[in-house]
Amino acid sequence: MGGLLRLTPVADDLAERFQRAGFQLALVGGSVRDALLGRLGNDLDFTTDARPEQVLKLVRGWADAVWEVGIAFGTVGCRKADADGNSFLIEVTTYRSEAYDRTSRKPEVSYGDTIEEDLVRRDFTVNAMAVALPGPRFIDPYGGLEDLSKQVLRTPGTPQASFSDDPLRMMRAARFAAQLDFDVAPEVVAAMTQMSDRIEIVSAERVRDEFNKLVLGDHPRKGLELLVSTGLAARVLPELPALRLERDEHFRHKDVYEHTLTVLEQAMDLETAGPDLVLRLAALLHDIGKPRTRKAEPEGRVSFHHHEVVGAKMTKARMTKLKYPNDMVKDVSRLVELHLRFHGYGSGEWTDSAVRRYVRDAGPLLERLHKLTRSDCTTRNKRKATALARTYDSLEERIGQLQEQEELDAIRPDLDGNQIMEVLGVPAGPVIGNAYQHLLELRLENGPMAYDDAVAALKQWWAAR
């Protein structure tokens, strides 16, 4: 519990405030778990017998800021800095229980009167521990400390009852497996498999948020494999289990599902500024077009022509259904669409024109495209892998050389729209756009032109019309 000592000034101060008002307060859930694991951050969760309106009265005037976004679910949020300037984000939730009915997407909240009653409705035993304050007094009625030491996820009550209360907890089991590298107890896995269809009553936004946390974990393969094996993935991301293409004498090829998980892990190894959700989603989805484009070829070969184009459309559709932000949908779909572009140029020397088009099409996603393309090599043939890496090294060198010469990141035609109108003597309209596009193609193909050369090229195009 050493991690809790750092919290004493703020936590004890708040607890004494509640105690003077006749209420109980305890640090609870993930905060206690993370303190025991030595990874406690500045987000603190408390539980209390005080009702939300009473909590509001107690934190107002004490906290630096207060918000009521979750008050309908019994939660009051606030921010408080200690004497050393450390800022803590605090959530205080009234003892409660949540339950879904068969048709509802939102939990029905009812308040409880004891902390034990509150803890039994928590998702897993490792999150069903509390520290009553001031004191402190450790509360662990469901063996969470033992499960934490064994690195196993169990539910305080039966998993069936827990998942019936909130089906999202099935995905949360996979998320904690990915984040903490814990194993999920067999009875919990069995309940997840048995009740996987219940996830469909949970809103797309909640599913998406839980899935993001899983993908951003240190061990996403572990969580993803659990989603697939229990049937949950078939409900929320069916494109993933669909990658487990059957292999027989007519369709011999490497396992696309295993390849995908390996690409994800290799992309993670190339991250330089922390977990990158866009890169990881692109790695996970880059081959989802393969099942729809699979075709048997002579001599037992298999082809997946244009699977990157089909995959990009499928990525956009799935991410839209999961209510991802439009910008993220656009970026991930674009990376999926471009992930084979490098291979389209073969192993030969890249022309300046090819490099310019590659950079232009990738735009601000260029660095991520570099990482995705490198990650997509999972061959066990060391000679082939080395050759691919060298070819991509040479491409990056060519990009660097041209960027120094031509400012590739901001490729524009050598004449802007106003100059085109002036040269041609015509007003704004579709023809100016066509002229602009023609000059852009010349710029990509041949590099920069002097002003007089660009004017001559424009007049030549205009005369040919």
440 CA to centre of own chain? 35
The per-residue b/e assignment along 9-34, b for 16 or more CB within 10 angstroms, e otherwise, is ebbbebbeebeeeebbbbbbbbbbbb
Question: For 289-334, what is each residue's pLDDT tens digit?
Answer: 998 888 877 877 777 878 989 999 999 999 999 999 999 999 999 9
DSSP 43: E
Cα angle, residue 311 at apex, residues 374 and 363 outer, rounded to 5°? 55
Domain shared by 218 and 282, yes or no: no
The single-letter code of the amino acid at 198 is R
Question: For 78-108, what is each residue's pLDDT tens digit?
Answer: 999 988 888 999 999 999 865 555 555 565 6
Question: For 377-436, what is each residue's pLDDT tens digit?
Answer: 887 778 888 878 888 888 888 888 777 665 555 567 767 888 888 888 888 888 888 888
Rounded Cα–Cα distance for residues 432 and 424 (Å): 9
Query: What kind and span of H or E run contains 293?
Result: helix 290-293
DSSP E strands in 239-396: the ranges are 295-296, 302-303
Quick one: pLDDT band at residue 367, thresholds 50, 70, 90?
very high
342 CA to centre of own chain? 25
Which of 216, 236, 256 corresponds to the end of one domain?
236
Domain shared by 168 and 88, yes or no: no
Domain shared by 99 and 42, yes or no: yes
Which of 202, 236, 270 corresponds to the end of one domain?
236
Domain shared by 331 and 422, yes or no: no
Question: For 436-459, what is each residue's pLDDT tens digit?
Answer: 888 887 777 777 778 888 888 888
Cis peptide bond prior to 134, omega within 30° of 0: yes
To 10 degrees, the CA torsion angle through 404, 409, 415, 421? Answer: -170
Q: What is the pTM of this model?
A: 0.80
388-397, long-range: CB within 8 Å, 24+ apart, which pairs?
391/347, 392/342, 394/349, 394/350, 395/342, 395/350, 395/355, 395/358, 396/370
Which of 111, 144, 177 corresponds to the end of one domain?
144
- Expressed as residue numbers, the domain containing 354 is 244-410
- Supply the CATH number for residue 165's domain: 1.10.110.30
Q: Is the pLDDT of residue 29 over 60?
A: yes
* Alpha helices by DSSP H, 113-200: 115-120, 144-150, 159-165, 168-180, 186-194
Spatial neighbors of 13 by CB under 8 A, at least 6 apart, are 62
Q: Is the pLDDT of residue 249 over 70?
A: no
